[in-house]
Amino acid sequence: MKTKTDYLYFTTKNKKEIINITDEVQEIVTKSGVKEGMVLVSAMHITAAVFVNDEEPGIKQDFLEWAEKLAPFRRDYKHHRTGETNGDAHLKSILFHHEVLVPITSGALDFGPWQQIFYGEFDGQRRKRIVVKVMGE
Span 67-123, pLDDT tens digits: 999 999 999 999 999 999 999 999 999 999 999 999 999 999 999 999 999 999 999
φ, ψ for residue 80, nearest 5 deg: -70, -15
Q: 106: exposed, middle or buried (C-beta count within 10 Å: 0-12, 13-18, 19+)? A: exposed
- Does an H or E element contain 93, and which? helix 87-96
Please, what are the domains in the chain? 2-136 (2.60.120.460)
| Helix (H) and strand (E) counts in the chain | 3, 8
Whether the model clears a pTM of 0.85, i.e. scores above it, the answer is yes
Total count of residues recorded for the chain: 137
